[in-house]
Amino acid sequence: MSLRIALAPGDGIGPEIMDAVLFLLRESGAASHLDFVPVEMGRAVFEAGESRGLTDAAAKSVEECGLVLKGPMETPKGGGGKSINVTLRKMYGAFANLRHFRTLPGVETVYSRAGISVNFYIVRENIEDTYGGIEHRLTNDVIECKRLISAPGCDQVHRFAFEAARRAGITRVACGHKANIMKMTDGLFLERFRVAAQDFREIEISDVIIDALCMNLVLKPQQYQMVVLPNLQGDIVSDLAAGLVGGLGFAPSANIGHHVSIFEAVHGTAPDIAGRGIANPTSLLLSALMMLRHVGLLNQAAALENALLTTLEEGVRTGDFGDRSRPAAGTMDFARSIAGNLGRTPEKIAGVPVPEQDVPVFVRPARPHANPLLRAFTQVVSQVAGCDVYVDASLGPTELALVMAKIAEPTPFRLTMISNRGTQVWPTGSVFTECVDYYRVRFEVRPGVSRGTIGQGPAVSLFDRIAEKFYVTDFQVLRDFDGRPGYSLAQGQ
Ligand code: NAI
């Protein structure tokens, strides 16, 4: 029985590199187990006025197949059109982005010249973080982007990373973060990493602050086997990592979800070389190999990988390798050379072991009946501790404090702090702190009022009173969760 795979060749060089990859899947025998279902996504769909970038029929096929092999797709510039690549990952819950970065023969880098072999994975959380794209203009001068990190969102990406590490024989996994600054959001990401690690005790764990990680990767990339990262940091570090191994053309990517997984090249549509038959299909081929391994076609994946490595070792290269010493191969010539090397293993570097498993074992999960609701903490007691009211105001901090303290007089709250861009400016602060037209005003339950006795009603009433005088651009009820404050302190508080 064949596995159905939604196939979207993509825009620009997409169709050329996809033809090469499909040819190799046929030559290796893998395609005899796969039934490719063409789907319409990308530029033509955007141009036809569908702002999601995929047709309803494509969405249905993706949901039915659960597996997508896609080429790069153009994101419309300007207008409201969002990246179809990001839409697919988020809409179908492909929560973990797995990328493999390693030195390939013939791909010259400063590390290959120094005899350093780079070989590590990045697992990037794919749904949350600033990628929610939740942005608002709050005042004339200030725009915010909300950064959401959830415990279940962390749990699924960390668990996936540890399971992938176990399968690949990886013994060390590091968590990259910025929890020294974003103590609550990245703090949660790190805390859930440590919790997930308890089920994988054979794997050694560590954590590293993102800036140090970037430096370490450049100085000594061989010290990492796998790094797990939140979405935006993962995005940036992935491209840094691609640079270590020769560029985006050599880095494969898998977006794994519970129901839908998407395998795609990391690079874009390369409009500058599209239609010329000279694009490098390596990234898409390596992504297709991740897909073969995901579904259990381990034998064919290993055979193709060894054939690719042998071809690179023989010196066959597309133009982007920058090797001027020999004529560049076109996309299909490169693919034909790989096909000619099926059954061979590279001589100078280690090939990959070829397992016997050569039929799919993938079982498509049942379609959910309703949106799955993810939960991590269900038995938490929370109590209202106050509220942060964000106002559009161009007063000085002391003047603002006088007005706010007066407004709060008849309520169970007292004014405790005012901050501007996260820095405390009242009751203490520095006159050197530059302010913009957006203040956070913090009210906390007065001494003598027991926290457990008031709900959020009085906080909402306070909001109403403040809204009579100011634009309230944002409002947050402050709560303690199991006695621990669910809010951060201001810088300098
Ligand atoms: P790009 O990756 O398409 O091109 C950057 C440079 O790398 C160009 O010089 C290009 O010729 C070269 N290049 C890329 N892939 C190559 C390959 N396989 N073989 C040989 N050379 C290759 O990045 P750019 O120009 O920033 O983006 C172009 C379009 O692609 C944009 O519309 C962008 O939104 C989209 N894009 C799509 C992605 C996806 O589908 N996952 C990812 C990144 C960009």
CB 491 within 8 A of CB 424: yes
pLDDT at residue number 388: 97
Residue 195: pLDDT band (50, 70, 90) is: very high
Q: Which tokens sit at 165?
A: 């590490």
In the predicted model, is pLDDT for residue 88 greater than 90?
no
pLDDT at residue number 323: 72
Q: Is the preceding omega at residue 427 within 30 degrees of 0, hence cis?
A: yes
For ligand 1, atom 6: residue with the closest CA: 270
Could you tell me the domains of the chain? 382-485 (3.30.70.1570)
Residue 80: pLDDT band (50, 70, 90) is: low
CB under 6 Å to ligand 1: residues?
13, 17, 72-75, 85, 248-249, 264, 267-273, 279-280, 283, 320
pLDDT at residue number 249: 79
| Average pLDDT, integer, range 279-301 | 96
Distance 13 CA to ligand 1 centre (A): 9
Distance 269 CA to ligand 1 centre (A): 4
Distance 250 CA to ligand 1 centre (A): 12
Q: Provide the β-strand partners of residue 99.
A: 122, 253
Distance 107 CA to ligand 1 centre (A): 18
480-488 CB contacts, 8 Å cutoff, 24+ apart = 480/382, 480/383, 480/385, 480/451, 481/380, 481/381, 481/382, 482/380, 482/381, 482/382, 485/385, 486/382, 487/184, 487/385, 487/388, 488/183, 488/184
For ligand 1, atom 5: residue with the closest CA: 270
Q: What is the 3-state secondary structure (H, E, C) of the chain?
A: CCEEEEEECCCCCHHHHHHHHHHHHHHCCHHHHEEEEECCECHHHHHCCCCCCECHHHHHHHHHHCEEEECCCCCCCCCCCCCHHHHHHHHCCCCEEEEEEECCCCCCCHHHHCCCCCEEEEEEECCCEEEEEEEEECCCCCEEEEEECCHHHHHHHHHHHHHHHHHHCCCEEEEEECCCCCCCHHHHHHHHHHHHHCCCCCCEEEEEEHHHHHHHHHHCHHHCCEEEECHHHHHHHHHHHHHHCCCHHHCEEEEECCCCEEEEECCCCCCCCCCCCCCCCHHHHHHHHHHHHHHCCHHHHHHHHHHHHHHHHCCCCCHHHCCCCCCCCCHHHHHHHHHHCCCCCCCCCCCCCCCCCCCCCCCCCCCCCCCCCCCCCCCCCEEEEEEEEEEECCCCHHHHHHHHHHHHCCCCEEEEEEEECCEEEECCCCCCCCCCCEEEEEEEECCCCCHHHCCCHHHHHHHHHHHCCCEEEEEEEEEEECCEECCCCCECC
Residue 78: pLDDT band (50, 70, 90) is: low
Q: Which tokens sit at 377?
A: 């903490």
For ligand 1, atom 41: residue with the closest CA: 72
Q: Which tokens sit at 457?
A: 């009603």
The strand order across the sheet containing 438-445 reads 423-426, 413-420, 438-445, 382-392, 471-481, 484-485
Question: For the segment 339-349, what is each residue's pLDDT rounded down to a tens digit?
Answer: 999 999 999 88
Candidates 252, 264, 237; CA nearest to 129 is: 237
CB 206 within 8 A of CB 165: no
In the predicted model, is pLDDT for residue 453 greater than 90?
no
pLDDT at residue number 1: 65
pLDDT at residue number 391: 98
For ligand 1, atom 18: residue with the closest CA: 280
Distance 17 CA to ligand 1 centre (A): 12
Distance 268 CA to ligand 1 centre (A): 3
CB 46 within 8 A of CB 305: no
For ligand 1, atom 20: residue with the closest CA: 279
In the predicted model, is pLDDT for residue 79 greater than 70?
no
Question: For the segment 99-133, what is each residue's pLDDT rounded down to a tens digit?
Answer: 999 988 888 889 989 999 999 999 999 999 998 88
CB 327 within 8 A of CB 321: no
Distance 76 CA to ligand 1 centre (A): 14
For the chain, the average pLDDT equals 93
Question: For the segment 412-427, what is each residue's pLDDT rounded down to a tens digit?
Answer: 999 999 999 999 999 9
Instruction: Ligand 1, residue 319: give the atom nearest the CA.
Output: 20
The number of angstroms, rounded, from the C-alpha of 431 to the middle of its chain's C-alpha atoms is 40
Angle at 129 between CA 392 and CA 235, to 5 degrees: 125
Candidate of 21, 267, 280 to mutate for ligand 1, largest count of ligand atoms within 8 Å of Cβ? 267
Q: Which tokens sit at 24?
A: 């190799």
Distance 337 CA to ligand 1 centre (A): 24
Distance 459 CA to ligand 1 centre (A): 50
| Span of 243-247, 248-252, 262-266, 360-364 with lowest mean pLDDT | 248-252
Distance 290 CA to ligand 1 centre (A): 20
pLDDT at residue number 355: 93
Instruction: Ligand 1, residue 284: give the atom nearest the CA.
Output: 18
Instruction: Ligand 1, residue 10: give the atom nearest the CA.
Output: 40
Distance 270 CA to ligand 1 centre (A): 4
Candidate of 54, 104, 269 to mutate for ligand 1, largest count of ligand atoms within 8 Å of Cβ? 269
Candidates 21, 70, 93; CA nearest to 264 is: 70
Instruction: Ligand 1, residue 71: give the atom nearest the CA.
Output: 40
Instruction: Ligand 1, residue 283: give the atom nearest the CA.
Output: 18
Question: For the segment 162-190, what is each residue's pLDDT rounded down to a tens digit?
Answer: 999 999 999 999 999 999 999 999 999 99
Percent of the chain with pLDDT over 90: 81
**C-alpha to C-alpha distance for 245 and 251, rounded to whole angstroms:** 8
For ligand 1, atom 11: residue with the closest CA: 270
